[in-house]
Amino acid sequence: MAAKGNLFILSAPSGAGKSSLISALLKQESTRPMQVSVSHTTRAPRPGEVDGQHYHFVSVEAFKHQIAQKHFYEWAEVFGNYYGTSALAIDDQLAKGIDVFLDIDWQGAQQVRMKKPDVTTIFISPPSKKELENRLRGRGQDSEAVIAERMAQAQSECSHYQEFDYIIVNDDFTQALQDLTTIVTNQRLKRSQQIENYKLLFTQLLAND
């Protein structure tokens, strides 16, 4: 039986490059399968979004029922819409030996940590305020008011950096990706993981022939 998968949380302010790092990591060759958790939400699908791929789109009633049944590792209400991470789906993936990545904020990370103390938490930081602002402006999508709001939110996010197990400063993308890959590999090489992976080997090594 293969070792259980590892659960990772990646948090970062908008513009730090978290989504790009996760995408690049999943494209690399790996010794075990990896995937990003698909959250549940009550908001309507946006053009191009596919149910079950981008989000699990559910009704408010269905979401509240799952809250009552304690089916979420974490959930939050944002601008009138609910978002949550299914505990059942995560546990099923981990049991199959899949490493799962949660793309959530520090508040969600706190909720998950209370229920899954063995979760590995990673904070992705921009190299500076100026660079973060440049990245947000470089998107060409937001007004000055929205950029100012995102910068204020980024400062709030960064104030919780000490709550995470690992910190990656995304200045050079290649180095940041290498750091993220190293963290994932490190978790796989922990004793509990290797004991499960090589149970037969150690049984044979310790056998009295």
H-type helices in the chain, by residue range?
Answer: 18-27, 60-68, 87-95, 106-115, 129-138, 144-158, 173-188, 191-197, 199-205
Identify residue 13 by its one-letter amino acid code. Answer: P
Residue 128 within any structural domain of the chain: yes
- Count of the separate structural domains present in the chain: 1
pLDDT at 83: 95
Residue 56 within any structural domain of the chain: no
Residue 55 within any structural domain of the chain: no
pTM of this structure: 0.88
pLDDT at 155: 92
pLDDT at 1: 54
How many residues comprise the chain?
209
Range(s) of the domain holding residue 181:
7-37+99-205
Q: What is the pLDDT of residues 90-131, one digit of tens each?
A: 999 999 999 999 999 999 999 999 999 999 999 999 999 999
Give how far the C-alpha of residue 13 lies from the chain's centroid of Cα atoms, to the nearest Å: 13
- Per run of 10 residues, the mean pLDDT along the chain (length 209 residues) is 86 92 95 94 93 94 96 92 95 95 94 95 95 85 85 92 97 97 95 88 91
Identify residue 71 by its one-letter amino acid code. Answer: H
Residue 49 within any structural domain of the chain: no
CATH value at residue 177:
3.40.50.300
Residue 193 within any structural domain of the chain: yes
Residue 134 within any structural domain of the chain: yes
The structure tokens listed for 148 are 């100012």
Residue 54 within any structural domain of the chain: no
- Nearest alpha carbon to residue 88 among 103, 100, 104, 76: 100
- Nearest alpha carbon to residue 155 among 114, 184, 121, 125: 125
Residue 74 within any structural domain of the chain: no
pLDDT at 2: 64
**Which helix (H) or strand (E) element contains residue 117?**
none
